[in-house]
Structure 1
């Protein structure tokens, strides 16, 4: 990848990225994929996920593995000691030249450093300051859990999604992907862009606060109206849907397929292909409501049919006719022609010992005129420190002194 790739619609926007782990970096990744310049501030030890999923033999302290590469592409890295007076001054200078600041420290950390929203927005009118915390920030509503640390699994548990995931009647189950981190990231990216739009119109700064708990609850919206409308307390549902049928996973000779036929004309097509066209007019199965009432029988009929066929056979018979698809694993996805046609895999350099070209997921946001996407690999730790310092007015002697004193590296 290179800087000659299309820059994206946010070209010209600068984001000061004070995030680590997954939730914050995923949000700034979205902005970077859309063309924003992302200046990532790290400690001398680097983002905690840098060593994760390294190639064998790579113990370069400034290197990184697949975890970091995947969510920190299109970024520059500058190493600053935020506890030092000199380091804080560098952050202030950077913030004064940035459009957006994003951080995901625990509540109160940036305030204690003197780098809070109030501190930085005073230096830069129109600054958008975004944060992700486990339970939000007191500025928009103080949670009784405000000071609790949180990770993905905690957000999934408390936000409700784990409570409806798992085998029907069984134990709650964590969703494999870290949606307790990535869903808040998407909400934050949306929020800061909305705030930036307003800031451009009014010149006023704004604080954007996203809680991990809140975000998972928001995507679990159904459990709230089920409780309010019907006094239900939904539990794990397996792969079925409480209001739609058939709608879920069904076994094949070589795995599973997902089938969704809540619409009656789709059900008629499926019934015909199953060799039982009369099911489309049978009063037990004719409408979606009928099938929901007779869920066990409906799903058994479909299951008995799919279990005799391979995924490919079912796709050949019904692909494009009803909503269905195979349950893919990574090996299936990277060879799927859809993924190639949609440019959903990006090839980047993996530097360091054993370095080679590797693949990461590209952006799913496709814009016709300013497409954006992955332009550059993730940065080495502190790879851009000197260049960024020079851009904000530090001379070579000053930069050397900052290195010597440990303020930067």
Structure 2
């Protein structure tokens, strides 16, 4: 008989207390949840995470009507249980401390020192539970002249120089600094934070003790400048905006076609030679101006217009078909709708629908599958993003809070 029980996640048995809101912290804890950790998200009674209200767009009920629940929240809160507790009350603080005693990991993104007044800061909770891995996510870190400031992704993109290298160059139509289309710094901070937490849990196996993790959006924003930062540090010359072209590769950008645009990502001389042959211009690969990548970058002002005159003669689909078997990276520039309809996206099962039975009219929530593919312990999507306070009773019951006590706490607005 075949065992249809899904394998336990790689982090099965790990308890995570999630005191974070908005995106960076919840993105981190969703990664841990997808890998099997039991993540309990603490939210404000009656309001919840700010992103529950960041709409439109909103979730729809079974009849296709908008609810009052924003879809933003669902992007980073699946596989979690939602508990509503007012941490401004002494009883609420005590409940959270009880949860921290049972937790392996705590993630929070309050301002520096913000949880100390509630007795929920690192020093207090780790004195009670020395094995606790406590991860703080802030805009600027736990020290330095900006530590007390609130930090937001857009601000960090501006401050780190990310916007100075995103968009078309000054003087071109539409030129000027632009933010990336998603909150990139928040998302990367969540990914870095999950890696740091896993490292701290591994270290705990040796030492028996947890530790404090100080994650700052500013630090991450500087780190993900990657090759652009490396180029500046090597030369002292700050890179600028150049649209969709690459500072170190050519041709590596969008090209106009007969019916729109396509993307060519040619990263070496062999790919360039194969493109030239397929395009009917093998002489370009022998041209002294274009014979190597460094030369093509130097002479891109001559190369790109010549190539675009040729790319305009075929449709995007024709170019993709022509180059597909020649190992020349070429693809469409899709809308998000087109991306979800792509054959490879469908084959990989990247669109997933999770049922939800919370009595709020939302029968299921559709999201994007985890990109983590572990052969022995694949992510298991156990729960749809929760309704506000959906799991309060079951979590408090485990803490020993009986039905009468829960009713009393509700009456006083503690939960």
TM > 0.5 between the two? Answer: yes
Distance in 1, matches of 2:379 and 2:31, equals 10
SS of the equivalent of 1:319 reads helix
Any residues of structure 2 matched to 1:244-259 within 5 Å, and which? 244-259=249-264
Aligned-residue offset at 1:359: 2.2
CA distance 1:324–1:143, change in 2 (3 Å): farther
Match of 1:24?
25
Q: After superposition, what is the alpha-carbon deviation per residue over 1:85-137, rounded to whole angstroms, capped at 9, x for unaligned?
A: 10010111101101100011111111222111111111112110112111111
Q: In structure 2, which of residues 304, 329, 341 is the aligned counterpart of residue 323 of structure 1?
A: 329
Q: In structure 2, which of residues 200, 206, 209 is the aligned counterpart of residue 204 of structure 1?
A: 209
Is 2:61 the partner of 1:54? Answer: no
Distance in 2, matches of 1:175 and 1:79, equals 33
CA distance 1:346–1:4, change in 2 (3 Å): farther
Distance in 2, matches of 1:159 and 1:193, equals 27
Aligned-residue offset at 1:304: 1.8
Aligned-residue offset at 1:187: 0.7
Any residues of structure 2 matched to 1:45-84 within 5 Å, and which? 45-51=47-53, 52=55, 53-55=57-59, 57-59=65-67, 64-84=69-89
Match of 2:9?
8
Aligned-residue offset at 1:6: 4.4
SS of the equivalent of 1:308 reads coil
SS of the equivalent of 1:158 reads helix
SS of the equivalent of 1:129 reads strand
Distance in 2, matches of 1:375 and 1:160, equals 39
Q: In structure 2, which of residues 121, 130, 139 is the aligned counterpart of residue 125 of structure 1?
A: 130
Q: In structure 2, which of residues 102, 107, 112 is the aligned counterpart of residue 97 of structure 1?
A: 102
Q: After superposition, what is the alpha-carbon deviation per residue over 1:205-260, rounded to whole angstroms, capped at 9, x for unaligned?
A: 21111111111110102233222222211111211111111111112233322212
Aligned-residue offset at 1:375: 2.3
Match of 1:332?
338
Match of 2:185?
180
Aligned-residue offset at 1:329: 1.1
Any residues of structure 2 matched to 1:124-273 within 5 Å, and which? 124-137=129-142, 142-169=143-170, 170-273=175-278
Distance in 1, matches of 2:259 and 2:30, equals 36
Aligned-residue offset at 1:343: 2.0
Any residues of structure 2 matched to 1:289-304 within 5 Å, and which? 289-304=294-309
Match of 1:364?
371
Mark the runs of 5 or more structure 1 residues left unpaired by the alignment: none
Aligned-residue offset at 1:355: 3.2
Q: Using CA pairs below 8 Å that are at least 6 residues apart, which structure has the higher relative contact order?
A: 1
Mark the runs of 5 or more structure 2 residues left unpaired by the alignment: none
Greater shift, 352-361 or 306-315, is seen at: 352-361
Aligned-residue offset at 1:349: 3.2
Q: After superposition, what is the alpha-carbon deviation per residue over 1:294-330, rounded to whole angstroms, capped at 9, x for unaligned?
A: 0111212222222222221111011251122211111
Distance in 1, matches of 2:315 and 2:14, equals 49
Match of 2:311?
306
Match of 1:376?
383
Distance in 1, matches of 2:259 and 2:186, equals 32
Distance in 1, matches of 2:8 and 2:308, equals 48
Distance in 2, matches of 1:226 and 1:95, equals 44
Aligned-residue offset at 1:358: 4.2
SS of the equivalent of 2:262 reads strand
CA RMSD, 1 decimal? 1.8
Q: Assess if the C-alpha contact under 8 Å between 2:365 and 2:385 holds in 1.
A: no
